[in-house]
């Protein structure tokens, strides 16, 4: 993993995203998340089965990507919908996109800037893809442990 | 009681409908954006409208404005990630009756719904 050590100033930047991810899982799923790693990166990492992507525009520009494997996505779907999907289908796409939307929206609110706008979420299935962030984006990787397995939240902002 | 639920996320519509069912509301119509929602709204009477803000085609704010232009006083609850004060004020100015920020706890949604669901 190509990472850059966090200096004290830089270490504050992921805070709204850590808090928003925890808030979404706590409120919607009653789950407390452990933060297992935080680092500044040089490139996109997500090795997960399904990823939700949402863009920021306005005074902050960039993207947020939440990634998780199938069993985690299925367990979250079961918690929220009352039944477990058998494969990655439109409903799982929708769920992961909505998680990206809520985490992005909540982070935006925590940043306290009314001039940040969120796009509509997009979902990617499969591990063989890459996202190239704008070269002047500051890219971060947050790794969380949920009660159902690991997830990641990556974001690149300018 | 008849409720219109408008959200581009099918999963979010299901989560909301589960809460509606839990408070005894089963007569629910779904729409995936503000345009589809307004077509449904014009086609039949509703006692409560629940709508997202950020949706493709026609967003929640435009949808609420469309409803109020008809002269309807139906209660409208906006359920959205837009939680900033300036956004809430915009929504109220457009005619929103109640507001709930995502993410929300099931109990928060149910407490809001209890205000509109007859005992």
Residue B88 at interface with chain A, using a CB cutoff of 8 Å: no
Residue A152 at interface with chain B, using a CB cutoff of 8 Å: no
Question: Residue A115: what pLDDT?
Answer: 85
Residues shown for chain B: 119
Q: How far A18 CA lies from chain B's nearest CA (Å)?
A: 14
- E strands, chain A, are 3-4, 34-41, 50-58, 62-68, 116-118, 122-125, 138-146, 149-157
Subunit contact A24:B56, Cβ cutoff 8 A: no
Question: Residue A45: what pLDDT?
Answer: 75
What are the angstrom distances between the C-alpha of B60 and each of A118, A127, A145, B32, B57? 14, 34, 34, 11, 10
Q: What is the ipTM of this complex?
A: 0.80
What are the angstrom distances between the C-alpha of A101 and each of A123, B45, B108? 11, 31, 19
Q: With bands split at pLDDT 50, 70 and 90, how would you rate the model's confidence at B85?
A: confident
Residue pLDDT, tens place only, B6-65: 999 999 999 999 889 988 899 999 999 999 999 999 999 999 999 999 999 999 999 999
- Is residue A16 within 8 A of residue A111, CB to CB? The reply is yes
Rg value, chain B, Cα: 13
- Is residue B30 within 8 A of residue B118, CB to CB? The reply is no
Question: Residue B99: what pLDDT?
Answer: 94
End-to-end CA separation in angstroms for chain B: 11
Subunit contact A98:B9, Cβ cutoff 8 A: yes
Residue B8 at interface with chain A, using a CB cutoff of 8 Å: yes
Phi/psi of residue A94, nearest 5 degrees: -60, -45
Question: Residue A5: what pLDDT?
Answer: 55
pLDDT of chain A along its 158 residues, tens only? 556 655 544 456 789 999 999 999 999 999 999 999 888 777 777 778 999 999 999 988 899 999 999 999 999 999 988 889 999 999 999 999 999 999 999 999 888 877 888 998 999 998 877 787 777 778 899 999 999 999 999 998 88
Residue pLDDT, tens place only, B97-112: 999 999 988 889 989 9
H/E element, B109? helix B106-114
Residue A117 at interface with chain B, using a CB cutoff of 8 Å: no
Residue with the two structure tokens 């004290």: A8
Which of B15, B84, B105 faces A109 most closely, judged by CB atoms?
Answer: B84
Show Cβ contacts of residue A59 under 8 Å, excluding neighbours closer than 6 positions: A113, A115, A116
- Is residue B4 within 8 A of residue B49, CB to CB? The reply is yes
Peptide bond before residue B103 is cis, with ω within 30 degrees of 0: yes
Residue A23 at interface with chain B, using a CB cutoff of 8 Å: yes
Question: Residue A8: what pLDDT?
Answer: 46
At A116 the three-state DSSP class reads strand
Statement: residue B72 has pLDDT above 60: yes
Report the predicted TM-score, pTM, of the whole model to 2 decimal places: 0.86
What are the angstrom distances between the C-alpha of A120 and each of A31, A94, B53? 25, 11, 11
Show Cβ contacts of residue B109 under 8 Å, excluding neighbours closer than 6 positions: B16, B19, B79, B100
**Within a 10 A sphere around the Cβ of B69, how many other Cβ atoms?**
10
- Which class for A93: exposed (0-12), middle (13-18), buried (19 or more C-beta within 10 A)? buried
């Amino acid at each position: 993993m190509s990472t850059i050590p966090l200096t004290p100033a830089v270490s504050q930047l992921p805070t709204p995203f850590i808090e928003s991810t925890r808030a979404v899982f706590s409120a919607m799923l009653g789950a407390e998340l452990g933060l297992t790693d935080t680092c500044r990166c040089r490139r996109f990492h997500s090795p997960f089965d399904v990823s939700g992507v949402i863009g920021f525009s306005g005074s902050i520009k960039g993207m947020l990507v939440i990634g998780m494997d199938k069993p985690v996505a299925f367990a979250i779907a079961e918690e929220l919908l009352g039944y477990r999907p058998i494969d990655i289908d439109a409903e799982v796409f929708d769920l992961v996109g909505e998680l990206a939307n809520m985490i992005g929206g909540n982070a935006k609110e925590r940043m306290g800037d009314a001039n940040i706008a969120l796009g509509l979420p997009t979902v990617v299935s499969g591990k063989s893809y890459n996202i190239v962030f704008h070269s002047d984006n500051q890219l971060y990787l947050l790794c969380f442990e949920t009660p159902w397995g690991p997830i990641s939240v990556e974001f690149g902002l300018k | 009681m008849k409720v219109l639920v408008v959200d581009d996320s099918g999963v979010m519509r299901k989560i909301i409908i589960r809460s509606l069912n839990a408070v005894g509301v089963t007569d629910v119509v779904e729409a995936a954006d503000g345009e589809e929602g307004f077509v449904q709204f014009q086609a039949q009477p509703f006692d409560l409208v629940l709508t997202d803000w950020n949706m493709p085609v026609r967003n929640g704010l435009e949808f609420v404005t469309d409803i109020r232009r008809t002269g309807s006083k139906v209660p409208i609850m906006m359920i959205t990630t837009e939680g900033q004060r300036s956004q809430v004020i915009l929504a109220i100015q457009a005619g929103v009756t109640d507001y709930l920020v995502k993410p929300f706890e099931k109990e928060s949604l149910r407490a809001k719904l209890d205000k509109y669901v007859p005992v």
